[in-house]
C-alpha cells in the first residue's frame, strides 16, 4: 500500500471523480505489471539443467514457458479505492513466498511409499523467488508513489461546503 498525504483547507470537501481515479490506478497498476513481466523475462542465475538455467533462491523465477508472465493481471476495485496486481497462475504464490512439501517415491505405480520415503529423506523446500513484490518495491522506490500522488492531486476538485462564511471586520 502506498500512503498519500493530502491536506484539505477548512470549509472545503475533497472530490475526486471515480473515473479519473480508476484511470490513474489502472495506469500505475499496468506500470507495476510491466516491470514484473520484465523481471520474469530475465534468464535464471541458478543451477543448470541441460539447456535450462534455473532461478536461484531470492531471484525471480526463470522463464520456461512464459505462462507466469502471461498470467499477471491488473484489476481496479469497483469502488475506485485501489488496484490489485496479481499472477493468476497456480504456482505463482509458491514461487513468490516459497513452499515446503514431501518427497514422492519417484516410481510410477508404487503405493504407500510416499510417506515412508518422506520420513527418511526429509522434505522438499522451495525457497522464495519474489517477482511481483520485488517489482512493486522497485517501482515505489523509483518514485511511483510521488507520481501517483501528483496524478491524483491533478484530478482533485475542492468544493466549499455550504455558503461562504463572511469574515468579521473591525468596526472603528
The pLDDT tens digits of the residues spanning 131-155 come to 999 999 998 888 888 888 777 777 6
Give the span between the Cα atoms of 123 and 104, in whole angstroms. 9
In this prediction, residue 120 has a pLDDT band, given cuts at 50, 70 and 90, of very low
**82 part of a folded domain:** yes
User: Which class for 25: exposed (0-12), middle (13-18), buried (19 or more C-beta within 10 A)?
Assistant: buried
Query: Which range of residues forms the domain containing residue 57?
Result: 12-91+132-155
Determine how many CB atoms are found less than 10 A away from the CB of residue 110.
11
**169 part of a folded domain:** no
**31 part of a folded domain:** yes
Compute and round to an integer the Cα radius of gyration of the chain.
25
pLDDT at res. 162 = 54
**114 part of a folded domain:** no
Rounded-to-5 percentages of helix, strand, coil across the chain? 40, 20, 45
**24 part of a folded domain:** yes
Per the structure, the count of domains in the chain is 1
In this prediction, residue 158 has a pLDDT band, given cuts at 50, 70 and 90, of low
pTM: 0.69
Instruction: Report which of residues 13 and 114 the model is more confident about.
Output: 13
The pLDDT tens digits of the residues spanning 63-88 come to 989 999 999 999 999 988 889 999 99
For residue 48, the 8-state DSSP code is E
**112 part of a folded domain:** no
Backbone angles phi, psi at 124, to 5 degrees: -80, 145
Amino acid at each position: 500500500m502506498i500512503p498519500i498525504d493530502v491536506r484539505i483547507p477548512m470549509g472545503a470537501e475533497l472530490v475526486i471523480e471515480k473515473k479519473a481515479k480508476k484511470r490513474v490506478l489502472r495506469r500505475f497498476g499496468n506500470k507495476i505489471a510491466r516491470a514484473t513481466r520484465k523481471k520474469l523475462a530475465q534468464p535464471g542465475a541458478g543451477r543448470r539443467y541441460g539447456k535450462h538455467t534455473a532461478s536461484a533462491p531470492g531471484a525471480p523465477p526463470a522463464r520456461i514457458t512464459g505462462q507466469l508472465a502471461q498470467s499477471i493481471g491488473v484489476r481496479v476495485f469497483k469502488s475506485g479505492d485501489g488496484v490489485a496486481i496479481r499472477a493468476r497462475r497456480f504456482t505463482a504464490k509458491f514461487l513468490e513466498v516459497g513452499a515446503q512439501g514431501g518427497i514422492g517415491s519417484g516410481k510410477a505405480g508404487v503405493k504407500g511409499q510416499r510417506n515412508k520415503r518422506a520420513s527418511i529423506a526429509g522434505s522438499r523446500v522451495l525457497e522464495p523467488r519474489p517477482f511481483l513484490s520485488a517489482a512493486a518495491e522497485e517501482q515505489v522506490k523509483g518514485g511511483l508513489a510521488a507520481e501517483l500522488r501528483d496524478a491524483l492531486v491533478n484530478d482533485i476538485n475542492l468544493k466549499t461546503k455550504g455558503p461562504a462564511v463572511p469574515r468579521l471586520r473591525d468596526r472603528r
